[in-house]
Chain A
Amino acid sequence: MIDLTTKSIRGKIVAGIMAAIFLLLVGKLAQLQIVSYDYYFQMSEENRIRLVPRTAMRGKIVDREGRTLATDRPAYTVSVIPSEIRQLSRLSEELAPLLSLERKTIEQKVKERRSRKYEPVPIRRDIEFASVCIIEESNELFPGVMYQLDHARTYPYGNIAAHIIGYTGEVDERESKTQFRIGSMIGRAGVEKQYDQPIRGIDGVDYQEVSATGRILGSLQSKPNKDPIPGSELGLSLDLDLQVLCDSLFGDSLSGAAIFINPQNGEILAMVSKPNYDANLFSGFVPRDAYQQLSTDERRPLLDRVIRGTYPPGSTSKLLTAGAALELGVIEPNTPFKPCYGGYQFGNRYFKCHKKSGHGSQDVYGALEVSCDTYFYQVGLKLGLKNFSDIAKKCGFDVLTGIDIPAERAGFVPTEEWYNKAYGKNGWTKAVLLNLGIGQGELLVTPLGLAQFYCGVVNNGNVMKPHLMRYIKSANGELTQATPEVARQLPFSASTLAILKEGCRRVVQGGSGTAARSRIEGIEMGGKTGTAQNPHGNEHALFCGFAPFDKPTIVGCVVVENAGHGSVAAAPIVQQVFIRYFQKTGLLAPPPPPPLEDIVQL
């Protein structure tokens, strides 16, 4: 009987068993990897399964009445599978004319792909059906080339709301490392970018069995396909009627920005930046020169002026000057100032009022109504720079509004430190205060930032966060609704706000108001005109308005570049949009039906 009582024998037996196991494994490995190598290598070569990603339908983007602003339409995409290409140079030569692409572009796209060489690289989206047919017929000629029914993003209204909606673009190699499949579409700007995650859905995969020559034999039985899950629908607060109207009021010649917000909940009703561009240009295949043309256009159509354009607010910021002075007790509504004889002498400089003949004596209401510069020079001086910057900052003029689209820019509030830095300690005088008091000079606002301030003024000092998203509805019907958010509180008491509002009322409703021509029959409205000096050309026209006066449901802010006085170019746009808005809410009688040729071509 074998004796197992000594340790060393047991050790030898264990060592023997272990050695046997290792021999067994190594032997099996050698059999697989050396003896049968050719066989298994062949098998892995023939294992030509294609992983064909099936892009999920991107969710629709609709306006507040359910009208489609962005949707996916079916389109063919031609892709190349890098691992199946035999000779890239020959392939690109044959493919280039067919896809109306340059050879270089094709080769670059294939070479860019360093990982996942077994998955198709989309080469050309939105290709004509005729080209698809040619590829289909001669598919033996093009090993590794495949076409696929895919989607292309389409924006039925073209230029309308292009900056808001944004556009989509392909995920490149670098990004694909961190988030998505290379070659898939991702939101690049606007709400397409902001809400990309819910809109994009989840891609599926088809497992196709392919012969060595590239012919699709069918789907793989052992691996069921994964169906894509379509993206969520994005409901915007935008009202297409107001958007289209506002866009058309600018026409093709005017540049500028317009924003209309419900001050009570921050919903954006219309938001226009002109000039704009056709978002469809970016949806599928973008010809290089088209993009080049847009990005080098002097009028800068790609710039969203509402959130990224910074302008001096002009007289629209007299509300800020007056509010700050009233709130801090620097002035009373009827504090007497030197009357206006067409300007104000400060040191050895004479600062002009916009009315050469002068406005005479006035209280704060009158000064707002006629927008007397002389009055506000003196208020600014009395207020002091520190007070002015403090209040401007508290009002949020130098922070982001928090709108739900990317790339917003903040306004700018100059401070004493800033002037010291910019001009040196003795390089500037109190004269800057005169300019700041009337909204010229270094204070800069975005149209959206300015609108948000006015929203706060008319909403009892509660500044709401402006937003475009109203709801997100997932493919299975799950609904997420936006909740109004308070961004901040204006540093003004109820009585100060009441004075400011009354001043604004007189601007429109008063006999000598600067925007008296833009009043609306049947709706009491308030507002403030502005004219911003522009060192590069004609002055910019501004107008901020709100209505109905007692409990405003809409605030509009319009900037028309190089258009002169706010009352002439900007206020009428606000007036027209307000009229349409109140016709829709029922406060005004509906308009007569428009003549047929005026209907916007869709």
Chain B
Amino acid sequence: MKILTKDTFNSGSLTIFIAAALLTIISVFLVYSANHDSPDPRLRDDWAKQIVWFVIGMGVFIAMMRIPMRIHEIFAYVYYAVGCALLLGLIAFGASKFGAQRWYSLGFFSLQPSELAKVAFLFALARYLSYSRRPISNLRKIFTATAMCGFVTFLVLRQPDLGSSIIFTVIFSAMMFWAGLPARYLLLFYTPFISMIASSSMYAWIIFFVLLIVAALLIVRKSPTFTILLVSLNLFVGALSSIAWNHLHDYQQMRIKIFLDPGQDPLGAGYQIIQSKVAIGSGGLLGKGYMSGSQNKLDFLPLRHTDFIFSVGAEEFGMLGAMIIIILFGFLFFRGLKTALKVRSEYMGLVTIGATAALAFQMFVNIGMVVGLLPVAGVPLPFVSYGGSSLLTSWILLGIIANAERNWQEY
């Protein structure tokens, strides 16, 4: 099969490609600014390596776009099994030999199975949801889908990799929602987490309950039993967590507090976030100029070519540069959503929304972290952060969206 022909792209997939390519080109420039004169000679060529990954990423993108989705539909469960096997393998001999390890070393490249598992899970869950004839509100169907997600998430958590494991639940929720899961289940599923966090402050907890009851009345007006179930579950989780909280040692409490609010520890974990905020804030409207960011050059920014690459951009190109990055992302996700709405096959729609959600969530968590909105989670910024694993996965996920965009008429 000829992969590259005149009609490789249609107009929709071409614009997607261009937007992501622009992000990756920006990435090369930012990585260069961050690292080309690093005191550590091993980092100085990172920008060139990023170009190599970019080229490989484009190849993978085109392949993902051109390989018929049918094939991924057929092999979806096989993918899932392979993904889980790789994760299991990592737990089995990774733990005994190297302690915590998240990747297989392939010499030139370290393979992160959790990245592969993400894609595999996407295909597998879409296949299950679109093939099973039971309605989505069927408890058995919900349970099976939850188990599929739970198993792979558990394996990733065992590595332990909190950041990645959250992405699985996000993909899961997005696809369940897209499959038409009634809102009450979503409420039941997510509110206890919010209750747990809100319970740390009495005010927050009271406000949370007011909102919860309003939401419950709005969404599930006709089922008082459900409202009672929902509220009591939240009460229970909230009370339990505040009791648990009071039983924690001071240092344990401190750790959690710092995780949620890094500002409380300006010299430790909070240091990175504070420096990142200083970098972004001092960039102002137009930035300090390319390769002139003092936060970048003075070595204040930790992990500035990977997790904190956005801060480098925002310092050197200001709000203007930051907005360009955000708008490019926004465009990608908007296209993803449009494609998911347009496609005729349910399977494709689910896969597309899952891929879009995975990318969007990572972007949100990463930028949210560097601007100080969210806790430090160690999630890279798709297309922009340095690193082969992250870049390849981003391009694969985008290839899936582009594939659906090209073949939206298919059933």
Known contacts: A49-B300, A179-B41. The answer to whether A36 contacts B182 by CB under 8 A is no
- Find out whether the CB atom of A53 lies under 8 angstroms from the CB atom of B326: no
Q: Does A430 contact B (CB under 8 A)?
A: no
Residues of B within 8 A of A203 (CB): 39
Partner of A34, one of B285, B326, B353, B371: B285
Partner of B181, one of A4, A25, A49, A117: A4
Residues of A within 8 A of B333 (CB): 18
- Find out whether the CB atom of B277 lies under 8 angstroms from the CB atom of A83: no
Residues of B within 8 A of A15 (CB): 334, 337
- Find out whether the CB atom of A36 lies under 8 angstroms from the CB atom of B281: yes
Partner of A32, one of B220, B268, B281, B368: B281
Known contacts: A11-B340, A18-B337, A118-B298. The answer to whether A1 contacts B183 by CB under 8 A is yes
Question: Whole-angstrom distance between the alpha carbons of A48 and B369 in the complex?
Answer: 25
- Find out whether the CB atom of B299 lies under 8 angstroms from the CB atom of A51: yes
Near A by CB (< 8 A), chain B positions 340-392 give 340-341, 349, 353, 360, 364, 367-368, 371-373
Question: Whole-angstrom distance between the alpha carbons of A7 and B177 in the complex?
Answer: 10
- Find out whether the CB atom of B41 lies under 8 angstroms from the CB atom of A33: no
Q: Does B267 contact A (CB under 8 A)?
A: yes
Known contacts: A2-B183, A10-B180, A28-B373. The answer to whether A43 contacts B278 by CB under 8 A is yes
- Find out whether the CB atom of B285 lies under 8 angstroms from the CB atom of A7: no
- Find out whether the CB atom of B219 lies under 8 angstroms from the CB atom of A40: no
Q: Does B221 contact A (CB under 8 A)?
A: yes
Partner of A41, one of B266, B282, B330, B341: B282
Question: Whole-angstrom distance between the alpha carbons of A53 and B299 in the complex?
Answer: 13
Partner of B294, one of A1, A2, A47, A223: A47
Q: How many A-B residue pairs have CB under 8 A?
A: 143
Near A by CB (< 8 A), chain B positions 298-350 give 298-300, 314, 318-319, 322-323, 326, 330, 333-334, 337, 340-341, 349
Closest approach, in angstroms, between the C-beta of A379 and any C-beta of chain B?
A: 57
> Closest A-chain residue to B287, C-beta based?
A33
- Find out whether the CB atom of A116 lies under 8 angstroms from the CB atom of B297: yes
Q: Does B284 contact A (CB under 8 A)?
A: yes
Q: Does A26 contact B (CB under 8 A)?
A: yes
Residues of A within 8 A of B219 (CB): 1-2
- Find out whether the CB atom of B281 lies under 8 angstroms from the CB atom of A41: yes
Q: Does B122 contact A (CB under 8 A)?
A: no
> Closest B-chain residue to A176, C-beta based?
B37
- Find out whether the CB atom of A33 lies under 8 angstroms from the CB atom of B318: yes
Near A by CB (< 8 A), chain B positions 249-294 give 266-268, 271, 275, 277-285, 291, 294
- Find out whether the CB atom of B337 lies under 8 angstroms from the CB atom of A11: yes
- Find out whether the CB atom of A11 lies under 8 angstroms from the CB atom of B341: yes
- Find out whether the CB atom of B337 lies under 8 angstroms from the CB atom of A32: no
Greatest chain B CB density within 10 A among A45, A47, A49, A53 is at A47
Bitwise, A1-15 to B at CB < 8 A (1) or not (0) is 110110110110111
> Closest B-chain residue to A53, C-beta based?
B39
Known: A7-B341, A34-B285, A43-B281. 4 other contacts (CB 8 A): A11-B337, A28-B372, A34-B284, A43-B282
Residues of B within 8 A of A25 (CB): 326, 364, 367-368, 371, 373
Closest approach, in angstroms, between the C-beta of A116 and any C-beta of chain B?
A: 5
> Closest A-chain residue to B327, C-beta based?
A22
- Find out whether the CB atom of B37 lies under 8 angstroms from the CB atom of A115: yes
Number of residues of chain B lying within 8 A (CB) of chain A:
59
Greatest chain A CB density within 10 A among B266, B277, B279, B294 is at B294
Residues of B within 8 A of A221 (CB): 267
Residues of A within 8 A of B267 (CB): 221-222
Question: Whole-angstrom distance between the alpha carbons of A207 and B297 in the complex?
Answer: 13
Q: Does A216 contact B (CB under 8 A)?
A: no
Closest approach, in angstroms, between the C-beta of A182 and any C-beta of chain B?
A: 9
Known contacts: A33-B285, A36-B281, A43-B278. The answer to whether A22 contacts B330 by CB under 8 A is yes
Q: Does B106 contact A (CB under 8 A)?
A: no
Question: Whole-angstrom distance between the alpha carbons of A36 and B364 in the complex?
Answer: 22
Main secondary structure, interface of B, reads: helix
- Find out whether the CB atom of B278 lies under 8 angstroms from the CB atom of A40: yes
- Find out whether the CB atom of B295 lies under 8 angstroms from the CB atom of A181: no
Partner of B295, one of A22, A37, A44: A44
Partner of A222, one of B271, B294, B297: B271
Q: Does A29 contact B (CB under 8 A)?
A: yes
Q: Does A337 contact B (CB under 8 A)?
A: no
Closest approach, in angstroms, between the C-beta of B190 and any C-beta of chain A?
A: 12
Residues of B within 8 A of A40 (CB): 277-278, 280-282
Question: Whole-angstrom distance between the alpha carbons of A7 and B353 in the complex?
Answer: 12
Residues of A within 8 A of B222 (CB): 1
Residues of A within 8 A of B314 (CB): 29, 33
Greatest chain B CB density within 10 A among A26, A33, A36 is at A33
Q: Does B139 contact A (CB under 8 A)?
A: no
> Closest B-chain residue to A207, C-beta based?
B299
Q: Does B178 contact A (CB under 8 A)?
A: yes
Q: Does B218 contact A (CB under 8 A)?
A: yes
Question: Whole-angstrom distance between the alpha carbons of A115 and B293 in the complex?
Answer: 11
- Find out whether the CB atom of B284 lies under 8 angstroms from the CB atom of A1: no
- Find out whether the CB atom of A118 lies under 8 angstroms from the CB atom of B282: no
Greatest chain B CB density within 10 A among A25, A34, A115 is at A25
Residues of B within 8 A of A30 (CB): 319
Q: Does A75 contact B (CB under 8 A)?
A: no
Q: Does A431 contact B (CB under 8 A)?
A: no
Q: Does A39 contact B (CB under 8 A)?
A: yes
Closest approach, in angstroms, between the C-beta of B4 and any C-beta of chain A?
A: 32
Q: Does A475 contact B (CB under 8 A)?
A: no
Q: Can you report 13 residue pairs joining A to B where beta carbons are below 8 Å apart?
A: A4-B182, A7-B341, A18-B334, A25-B326, A26-B323, A29-B280, A29-B323, A33-B322, A43-B278, A47-B298, A51-B298, A83-B294, A222-B266
Residues of A within 8 A of B319 (CB): 29-30, 33-34
Q: Does A479 contact B (CB under 8 A)?
A: no
Question: Whole-angstrom distance between the alpha carbons of A53 and B353 in the complex?
Answer: 50
Question: Whole-angstrom distance between the alpha carbons of A117 and B37 in the complex?
Answer: 11
Q: Does A24 contact B (CB under 8 A)?
A: yes
Greatest chain B CB density within 10 A among A1, A26, A49, A177 is at A1
Q: Does A205 contact B (CB under 8 A)?
A: yes
Question: Whole-angstrom distance between the alpha carbons of A36 and B353 in the complex?
Answer: 37
Known contacts: A11-B341, A51-B298. The answer to whether A4 contacts B183 by CB under 8 A is yes
Closest approach, in angstroms, between the C-beta of B360 and any C-beta of chain A?
A: 7
Closest approach, in angstroms, between the C-beta of A48 and any C-beta of chain B?
A: 9
